[in-house]
Every structure is written in structure tokens, then in C-alpha cells.
Structure 1
Amino acid sequence: MTASRRRWAGLVFISVAVALIIVDSTIVNVAIPSIVRDLDITSTQVQWVQESYTLVFAALLLVFGTLADRYGRRRILLTGVIIFAAASVFAAMAPSGELLILARIVQGVGGAMVLPTTLSLINATFRGKERGIAFAVWGSTIGGMVAVGPLLGGWLTTYYSWRWAFGINVPLAAIIVIGILLCVAESKDAGEPRRIDVIGAVLSVVASASLVFGLIEGRSYGWWLVRPGQAPVIGTWTWPFALSPIPVAFAITLASGAGFIWWGIRRQRAGATTLLAFALFTIPSFRNGNIAAMIVSLGEFGIILSLPLWLQNVIGYDALQTGLVLLALAIGSFAASGLSSVVLDKITPVAIVRVGILAEIVGVAGLGLVISADSTWLTVIPFLFVYGFGVGLATAQLTGVVLKDVPVEKSGQGSGTASTARQIGSALGIAILGTVLFTSLGSSLDARLAESSPNLPESARTQILDSVVLSAGGAIPALAAKDPDVGAAARAAFSDGTRYSAFAASGFLVLGLLATLRLSGQPTKEDAVPETEDQRAS
């Protein structure tokens, strides 16, 4: 096999590695209702099943991006795939919600080793127009897997078990390991190895964890004062203060975040290595692109939490039917990848990004307009297609815009930072939009029950509210069978929550679109070079 063919074959396995972690982050959404029934987990634990993975993922991306530069990008990638596969086995065998969340945390460690190394390997392997094509393949894989994951998860959950939604990762990991060993060359920084910024890593983890904890647990513990009977309990110790732990968590976020920035700038001025390459933020495309990517990711992937729950618990679809509905996302994304490769020579990558985000806004806002308790797949599929089309356009080209001016020797830190921005956005999206969903669900259901069942005792109404919210809507079918009026109120309220979540997501996407206005549409000198000397020789 020639060097050129090996390079493109390696891209295939690199993309499959990305597919592995992206599929897992979406495949669980369709399986959540079955997990709720099987493991009897609460709506807060539903958020943590997703969030624990995303949070650890985001918190460690910078660390592993730096380690990949130092010890070898292929080596870290392979290690991450193996850890991810091992954690998937434990997730598939988890007997409780707590152990499932723990397995998801370990999966997050493996995923954090995979994502930045795939980006930095592409950045170090391809040049000029080839790099744009490679990023398009990488980004389209992400966009497509967002929907293929639910379809695969729906099939496995419906005909086998939700546990196979995790077990499927093992054979995929084996294929990836073999392919990477055969087709991808090792890549790492030349010169003396750099020391790892341990303090910076700890501060970044604390900042991320405390922020997401506050956003998810705020509705349970109280945003300012502790709700009666809702104080956190750790072992035999109960939170003793009237002040909720949520403002304390946010204060820790501010302190640790400020400390991370101060510490990093101090080390950089002293000539020491830093976890985050602060000097890269002097590059306009890198700085502005990361801001846009974080905001866009917040709106993009948060909505995927609520849609499968709504489709199964309100509309009544099974997991496979839900996956088939969400397949419209993948079709839209793949259509976008084909179009972007055609128009890339005619319009700038930044223009493609803006068109993509605009399509996402139309798709998500449209979902908010058509979602109701009486909706069918015919009403939501067109908007899912438009949304997926936007994801396919925006994801790949935004990545290329962010990294286009980053030197190859900084590609690990650069891609780690870019991936971190995206994952922090995704984590915030799950936390914020999940909180919007369940908070608005509770308030809407309370109002609808007061209107439709005014004679319902207060204790009974509270019990219904708790059962619907805590089960993430899983209790709705049983309530409807017992009392059609209560069931109708619950279905309408869950639709309200899903609709408000969609509108919130579209609002964040609008902010992301505005953020892209600070991105330059001019190509770099490197982008104008179609091939390097060694690529022509190969």
C-alpha cells in the first residue's frame, strides 16, 4: 500500500474511532426509558448517566491532548479505545444506576483520550485541500453518528436489551485497534518532553465538575436555599446549612476557573508548559472559532436528550421506532457532507458554517413549533432532516476553521482545546436543557392538573408530579391507563417541556451564529497550498 493510500485508509479507522465515542454518547438516549424501568433510576440520575460521561470527557480533553503530543498520538488513541471498550463491558453489566454512572465516568476517560488524538493526527497528517477533505469526513462522521446511534440503540434495545447498547462497543473497538496499528503512523512532538501541568488539570476538572453539578442538581436541592427534605446526604452526613450547596458549587466554579486562568498565564510567562496553550488564543480564528463552537454545541446536542424521551413516553413509539425517526438527522447530515465537498471551492468554510448553523436554528425552532401530545413522525421528520443538514455543514468546517492557523507542533493542545470547547458546550447543553425540560414539565403538569382535576387532593397531585418528573416521563403510560385525564395532562405537560427545551436550544444556536460573525472568511496561506512535496512524492 502506498503512503497516500495508507493515509486515507488510516482516516477511515480514525473516523470509526470518532464514531465509537459519538455513537455511545447518543445511543444511550434511546435506551434511557428502558434503563429507567430496569434499574429504577430517577430523572436526575438520567441526566447524570449522560452528564457523567460528557463531564469527564470535557474535563480531561486538554490533559490527554498534551499527553498525546508528548508520548505519541497513536499510542494515546489506542489506549483510549481499549479503556473505552473495557468500561463498556462494565456498563453493560451494571446492576444499578450508581454503578452505571461509574462505568460512564470511566468511559469518559477513554473517550477523552480518543477525540483530541483523532483531530491532531488529521492535523499532522494532511495538508492543504486534503486537510479540508479529511476534516469534512471527520465532521460528517460526528453528524451522522448523532442519529445512527439512536437507530442502533433502538434496534438493540427493542429486540435484545439496552445492555447491548454498550456491548456493541467491544467488537467495534477491536476493529479500530487493528486498523490503527496497520494504517496510522505514530506522531508526536520532537525535542525534549514537556512536563504536565498537574495543578492546571486539577483546577480545570474542579471548575467543570462544580458547574455541571450546580446546573443539574439545582432543581433538586434549591437554587439558593435548601428545599425541605432535599438536603444532600453523603453516607451518614447530611448537608447542615439552610443555604443550598448550589451557590457554593457555583462559587467554586468561579474561583477554580479564575485560578486556572491565572495559573496558566503565570506559567506561560515563566516559560513553563501549560495545560491550555494560552498563546493560541492570540490567533483570531482559533479564539473566535472556539467561542462559536462552544455555544453551537450547547444548542446542538442538548435537544437530543429530550426527544427520545418524548417520542417514547408521550407519542408511544418503541425504541426502534424512535431510532428510525431520528434517522432523519443522519440523512440530513450525510446530504450536507456531499454538498459541502462540492461547494468548498466556491464559498469559504466560514460561510458554510453560517449556513449550517442557520439550518440548525430553523430545524430546532421548527421542532419547538410542531411538538405536541398529538404529533406524529410526519410532523417532526422534516425539521429533524433540516437540523441534521445543518449539523453536517457546520461541524466539519467549524473544526477546520478553528485549527487552520494552529502550528502542527501545537496540534495536540489546539485540538484538545477545540474538543474541550465543544464538549463543555455539550455538557452545558445537557445540564441546562435537561433542567429546562424537567422544571417546565413539573410546573406545566401542576397547572394542568389544577385545571383538569380541581378536586384532586394535594397529596395525590404531588405524588403524580413526583412520579412523572422523577421517572423522566416513564410513568405516563401507566397513569394514562389508570386515569385518562391525568395521562392526557401528563402527555401535554411533557410536550410543553420538550417544546421549551427546543426553543432554548434554538436561542443558543442564534448566539452561536452571531459569534461566527467574528470569524474571518479569508483562507490562510497554508490552505492555498494544495499539496506538500512529500504528498506529491507519495
Structure 2
Amino acid sequence: MPGMTNPRARWFGLVFISIAVALIIVDSTIVNVAIPSIVKDLGITSTQVQWVQESYTLVFAALLLVFGSLADRYGRRRMLVIGVMIFALASVLAAFAPTGDLLIASRVVQGVGGAMVLPTTLSLINATFRGRERGIAFAVWGSTIGGMVAVGPLLGGWLTTYYSWRWAFGINVPFGILIVVGTLAFVVESKDPDARRVDVVGAILSVVASASLVFGLIEGRSYGWWTVATAPVIGGWTWPYSISPIPFAFAIALLAGALYVWWGLRRQKRGEPTLLAFSLFRIPSFRNGNIAAMIVSLGEFGIVLSLPLWLQNVLGYDALQTGFVLLALAIGSFVASGFAGAFGHRVSPVTIVRVGLVAEIIGVAGLGVTISATASWLTIVPFLFVYGFGVGLATAQLTGVVLRDVPVERSGQGSGTSSTSRQIGSALGIAILGTILFTSTSSLLDARLSDDGVPSSARTSIVNAVVDSAGSAIPALEAQSATIANDARTAFSDATRFAAFSAAGFLVLGFLATLRLGSGSAEAAVRRPDEAGVVEAEPRS
């Protein structure tokens, strides 16, 4: 294999592949800490706050399979370089965005670039490394993801506090240049000579299904879940029906999803290429691992939206202090990578995944118990560390479990499917937990203000101000009334607790899903000696 002729170049290439992963993962988390500053500067609403995150994650998830397949056909290194360039250029647009809508549009373009990067990094590793080396490479890749989830907020906090939130996007440009140069110098091109044309119809159906589902989850509290609360307005056109558009969005998502599966199975029976590798789902580790990965990601990354908002708007920390608090996540993840390295040859990957999920559940549930309007960083840092430790264990090992039995020539589709499962879970997590956070804040604050005898019209004004600003209006309420400000801090804290407990619940479901992964050692019925002399699982159908 060409990528294995120069061992030193191979490992240098892994460094730049990991930096590329770090770039897109950092960007998905760095914005969390900067959000309060963005709200103040651009005046965006809580719905736009969700879309600043969701637009990136949604496009990212919707296009992963497309670019995974294109990378197999046209070259994985080439796709990685193009994706990084698009990502860097979109970061420049985001850094100079004058309005919330233009920032969201820039995030959409960033999502396109990110979707070109992530599946190619996985498939390049899968095609370049073998045996124990592949395990080490996946551990580096997974630990990078786990660590960057928290390093992003720290970096974003530093840039936001001492410079501007705009530098949270501008920092991507020099890193992008470094990645492009390093990839071209040390990463060997890899492609599938038998790859065929991409399933365009399937791609469109997958985008429609995921976009309409997330739209419904995010906009339901604004437009109404069944009857219209606020009629959508597009240009000069206003929604004319009493029924909210949200049920229609969910119906479109269901129909497009069903058509996507039907279309893919139909093409597969005719021997035509499909966007999703349906035949790979015959591999138990791939099928069950993807289900677990989606559920786990739903619980893992959704909570990261609410914590920075709570730390800054309720506890009064600045962006940099918030980043330092969340650094406990990164420390836990890095400790986990050492733990996995020490015990990985003694314990099955599936066992490590389960241990990681138990740690995540304890960490997130512990946050739910300790979060309050009077909490301090000392009470939450231990649970963030435990949570990060779990993320570091589960992320790397689950990826290896999912792709272990996938043939190298199908690595693009396999890694694209694996990444899509995670990103769909992350997108749903942001949508669902964000909706829980803001809906709970609204109802809890309204109830507390009512108990204090605040008139209905004033209650509505205060609740809308707090919710629409994603909590950024809370500090300003102190000048109006200490009681009202305390009510707002308590309501937002309780809502954050509900989001944490909800995330823990999804992680429990993810843990239960891993019970179908077996022991992790007996899933391959046939074994063959690897090129490096290491026994490796042969894919089975």
C-alpha cells in the first residue's frame, strides 16, 4: 500500500490529519463560549443562538455521506484539502459577519467544508494503517475529538475576552494553511478505483429529511407545536393557516426518510451505487455501533450548548473563566487516552466503551444535581472531569468498533456513515436539549414571577427578554429588581439542570444500545493474518 512505504511520513501525516479534525471539532465548540458576546454584539435571539450552532451541525451531518462517497471516487487527500480551504474561507466570512443571519449563512458554508474533512480523515487512517498501528491511529483521532470539545471553549474564551468573538473564527485561517501544506507534504493520496457515481436523489432526500426534522425541533417553540403561535413570514408572504408549519415539517422529515430508505434499497438490488452502504449494516459491529454512536452523541454534545450560557449569564463568569472551567473536560479526556492505551490490550474495546458511558452518565447526572444559581466552579469541575474521562474513552473506542470489520475499499462509505450517525445525534442533541433549556426557562420564570405578583404584561416582557437573549439579559435585570434577577437566575439554572438530566437519560439509552455489541472479541467469525502480522477481523456479511 502506497501510504505505508514511509513509516515516518505516515505518522507525520497522522499529525496533520488530527489537526484537521481538531479544526472542525474546535469550531463546533468554540462558538459556545462566544455566544453571549455574539448575542450582545449582533442582538441575535435564542432561536438564532440555536441556529448558529445547528446550521453548522445540520449541514455537516447532511453532507457527510455525499463527500465520503466523492472522496472514495476522486481522492481522499484531495477532498480533505478542498474542505479545509472552504472551511477557512467561510471562517473569514463569519469573522466579518455584520448580522446574525449572515453569521448563520457563514456557518452553513463552514458545515460544507467540515463535511468534506471529517469522513476523509477517517478513511485515510483506515486505508493507511493496519493492525495495532490502526488502533493507535484511531486512539489519536478519537482523543483529539474528545480533547478539542473542551479546548475549543478555552481558546474561544481567551479570544473573546481579550480580543473579540470574531477571532474565534479568524483563528481558523492560519491553522487551515498549516493543514493544507502538511497534508500535501506527508499524506499519500488514497481512492477507490471501483467507486461509481454518487446517488444524487438519495443525497437530496437525506438533506430534506434531516433539515426538516431539525427545523421542526428548533422552531416548534416559536411557531407552535400544533397550532400557530407566531406565523412565519418569508418576504411579503405570511403563513396563512391556523395549523403550525411544524407538523408539516415533521411529516416531510418522515416521508423523505422513508423514501430515502426505499430508494437506497431499490438501487442496491439493481446493483447501483447508494449513498448509504446498506449492505454494511449486515455487519453486527457496524450496525449496532452506529445506533449506539447516534444515541450517545445526542446526550454528549447537546449539554455543551447550555453550560457556557449558564456559567456566564447566571454565575457571572467571563468567557475566559468559562473556558477554564470547561478545561476539566479536556483534562478528563486526555487522562482517558492514557488509560485506554494502558489497558486497551487487556480489555475489549466494547468494555472500554461501556466504562466510558458509565463515566459520562455519572458526570452529566452529577452536573444536574449540583447546578444551581449559587453554585461555584468547585462543585461542577469534578463532574466535568468525570464526564470528559468518559467522552475520551467512549469516542475513540466506539469508532474503532464501528469500522473494525469494514473492508478498506468501503472505508469512505463506512466512515461517512459512522460520522453521520454521530453528527445526526449531535444535531438532535442541540435541537432537543436547547429546546428543553429555553422552554423550561420560559415556563419556570413565568411561574416564579407570577408567585411574586408580577403583572401578566410585565411577566411576558421579562420572560421574552431572558429567553430571546439566551439568558444574556439576566445581569441587566439586577438594576430593575434584585428579586426578578434572582428569579431569572434560578429559572435558568433549573432549566439547565433539566437539560443535564435529559442528556444523562439519552446516555443511559446509549449504554443500553451497546449491550447489543457483544463482547467485542467474538463478533468476527473468520480471522486472517494482517500484513504486519497482527490478527485482524475479516468483514462478514
Q: TM-score band (shorter)?
A: over 0.9
Q: 1:154-212 CA deviation, whole Å, 9 max, x = no partner?
A: 00000000000000000000111111011100000023x40110000000000000000
Which residue identity lines up with residue 472 of structure 1 in the other structure? A
Alignment equivalent of 1:148, drawn from 126, 132, 151: 151
Which of 208, 211, 214 aligns to 1:209? It is 211
**Contact residue 158 and residue 319 of structure 1 kept, 8 A:** yes
Give the drift of 1:533.
Answer: 7.1
Give 1:248's aligned amino acid. F
User: 1:180, 1:240 → 2: CA distance?
Assistant: 53
**Aligned 8 A contact 1:311 1:317 in 2:** yes
Deviations 1:417-451, CA, capped at 9 Å, x for gaps: 00000000000000000000000000110111112
Q: Does 2:48 align with 1:45?
A: yes
User: What secondary structure, in the 3-state scheme, does the structure 1 residue paired with 2:108 have?
Assistant: helix
Is the aligned partner of 1:420 residue 2:420?
yes
Matched, 1:17 2:20: yes
Moved over 2 A (4+): 520-534
Residues 72-95 of structure 1: CA distance to partner in whole angstroms, max 9, x if unpaired?
000000000000000000000000
> Which residue type is aligned with residue 210 of structure 1?
S
- Partner of residue 180, structure 1: 183
Partner of 2:83: 80
Compute the displacement of 1:516 (Å): 0.1
The superposition leaves residues 13-66 of structure 1 with CA deviations (integer Å, 9 ceiling, x where unpaired) of 100000000000000000000000000000000000000000000000000000
Matched, 1:356 2:356: yes
Q: For residues 214 and 527 of structure 1, do their structure 2 counterparts lie closer, same or farther at Cα, with a shift above 3 Å needed?
A: farther
CA apart distance, 1:382: 0.2
Does residue 124 of the first structure (1) align with residue 127 of the second (2)?
yes
1:268 equivalent to 2:268? Answer yes
What does residue range 331-410 of structure 1 map to in structure 2 within 5 Å? 331-410=331-410
Question: How far apart are the structure 2 equivalents of 1:526 and 1:195?
Answer: 32
The 8 Å contact of residues 303 and 505 in structure 1, kept in 2 or not, is answered as: yes
The 5 A counterparts of 1:83-482 are 83-191=86-194, 193-227=195-229, 230-451=230-451, 453-454=452-453, 456-482=454-480
Aligned-pair distance for 1:522?
3.5
Task: State the superposition RMSD in angstroms.
Answer: 1.3
**Equivalent of 1:4, from 4, 7, 13?**
7
Give the Å deviation of 1:530: 6.5
Q: Percent identity?
A: 75
Cα shift readout 1:274-301 (whole Å, capped 9, x = no counterpart): 0011000000000000000000000000
**1:528 Cα deviation after fit:** 8.0
Task: Report what 2:61 is aligned to.
Answer: 58
Cα contact 1:44–1:470 (8 A) shared by 2: yes
Return the match for 2:74 from 71, 76, 95: 71
Taking structure 1 as the reference length, the TM-score comes to 0.97
CA distance in 2, matches of 1:461, 1:251: 35
Q: Aligned letter for 1:44? A: T
Q: Aligned equivalents of 1:85 and 1:533: distance in 2?
A: 41
Aligned pair in 2 of structure 1 residues 76, 526: CA closer, same or farther (>3 Å)? Answer: farther
C-alpha contact (below 8 Å) 1:224/1:246 kept by paired residues: yes
Deviation at 1:480, TM superposition (A): 1.5
Runs (5+) with no aligned partner, structure 2: 535-541
8 A contact 2:401–2:520 mirrored in 1: no
**Aligned letter for 2:205?**
L
Residues 129, 529 of structure 1: 8 Å contact kept: no
**1:81 maps to amino acid:** V
Deviations 1:363-409 (A, max 9, x none): 00000000000000000000000000000000000000000000000
Aligned to 2:537: none
Matching residue's letter, 1:220: S
CA distance in structure 1 between the partners assigned to 2:528 and 2:32 by the alignment: 42
SS at 1:498 equivalent: helix
User: Structure 1 stretches of 5 or more lacking a match?
Assistant: none
The alpha-carbon deviation at position 521 of structure 1 amounts to: 2.3
